[in-house]
Amino acid sequence: MSDSTQPNANAVHQDTLPGLGAGRKESLHPAPEMPFGPSLLALAKAPGLGQKGLSDLVGCLGRDIGLLLEDDHIRTLATLQTAKIANAHRVAENLAQGRKDLIEKGRQEIERLAERTITLLSPEEIPPRLRALPDGPRWLFVQGNPEVLDDPPYIAVVGTRQPSQLGMKATEAVVRTMAAYPITLVSGLANGIDAAAHQVAVRDGVTNVAFLGHGINVVFPAETGGIRQRIVESGGAVVSEYLPDDHYKRHFFVARNRLQAGLSNIVVAAEGTASGGTAHTVRFAARYQRPTVGLQFDGAGNLAELVATQDTGEVVKIFDPAGRRHLDQRFRALCTDVGKPTNGLALVQHLLDREMKLRDIPRTDLEQLTARLRRLIEETS
């Protein structure tokens, strides 16, 4: 979403996450009976609390927010006041009066989410790369496989919602280069570059992580519903830090961009302008010291120029064979750095397996392929 506003960590929350590096004191009380997930969803429905209040409470209590749903009005009020919740007395009264109903609603909602393979990660369960951010998420809703959020390396491919034909081809070139290696694609499931990156990744066997700028129950834009389902079915994850039914807002998308940058080892800015929405991701990447690659080609816009001004940025001519090889070398080196095996012909093998399933391949065709491989081995020896 185009928006020239500078990325603002304070728009998400202002303090470092407690329990995630900011010294939340150990509770003097026993652990609450209510687990984190149903507690969060119960408190989300409490009148007078709101999104900010809920975030502040998680900041104060971490996974122990269920303490607020126990029958201890004095302690509840004291906790609300410690967390500097506005109208703490009124919120405490609302909790006291509606406690049983809230608890039942929280439990029912967490069960409905689980039926759709949606997991709610508590502060301590948030993946390390995101937990280490100064403005990281308080919690995460994950549809699909949450384990992919802690299995680097990650490369974000992001760009405009209104790409050119060359921009779409450039995006495909980047993802196909990734597909040879055990790399997970990160993007935002928006129309344009994001959707194209996810589609090519699913096609070529690349695992996907898609960050949403709205609640996990919302499908937006509607055109991405199919690719979202394929991401989940192929072992990837769709992720949101917003409450399940939260509708999309402009500042939600800006904040979402910080998670794309924060999780990634490299951010590839495929196409866009220095004043567009993708520029936020580039700036977040610079803030978090994530290497950024801007793609250069005819009509690419000036986003690559913004990337070039960043200390960790570089520009690659994606349709130049030398530029494509350079990108391949970076991706291979990234896998090596995190201890993942590399095979530059893994995509070729994937395509061969697919062709074998779709075609009636005679033995002679395989013999020709074998002969060609032998010649290539001799040429490289």
- Domain residue limits, the chain: 15-115, 128-337, 346-380
133 contact partners, CB below 8 Å, separation of at least 6:
258, 262, 288
Would you list the DSSP string of 111-162?
Answer: HHHHHTTEEEE-GGGS-HHHHTSTT--S-EEEEE-GGGGGS--EEEEEE-SS
* CA 345 to the chain's CA centroid: 27
d(CA 145, CA 141): 11
Would you list the DSSP string of 195-235?
Answer: HHHHHHHHHTT--EEEE-SS-TT---SGGGHHHHHHHHHTT
Contact criterion met (CB below 8 Å) for 340 and 189: no
Indicate if the alpha-carbon torsion angle 142, 148, 152, 154 is positive or negative.
Answer: negative
Closest CA to 69 of 94, 101, 103: 103
d(CA 318, CA 327): 8
pLDDT band at 29 (very low <50, low <70, confident <90, very high): low
Closest CA to 303 of 272, 334, 339, 267: 272
Share of the chain above pLDDT 90, in %: 76
Indicate if the alpha-carbon torsion angle 47, 49, 52, 56 is positive or negative.
Answer: negative
- Digit-coded pLDDT (tens) for 180-229: 999 999 999 999 999 999 999 999 999 999 999 999 999 988 999 999 99
Is residue 21's pLDDT more than 80? no
Q: What is the CATH code for 128-337?
A: 3.40.50.450
- Triad 335, 161, 322: Cα angle to 5°: 40
pLDDT score recorded for residue 72: 86
pLDDT score recorded for residue 24: 41
pLDDT score recorded for residue 31: 64
3-state helix, strand, coil in the chain (%, to 5): 50, 10, 35
Closest CA to 159 of 207, 130, 214, 197: 197
d(CA 161, CA 183): 24
- Digit-coded pLDDT (tens) for 300-344: 889 999 999 999 999 999 999 999 999 999 999 999 999 998 888
d(CA 237, CA 143): 6
- CA-CA distances (angstroms) from residue 3 to 195, 250, 253? 19, 8, 10
Q: What is the pTM of this model?
A: 0.86
pLDDT band at 8 (very low <50, low <70, confident <90, very high): very low
- Digit-coded pLDDT (tens) for 135-156: 999 999 999 999 999 999 999 9
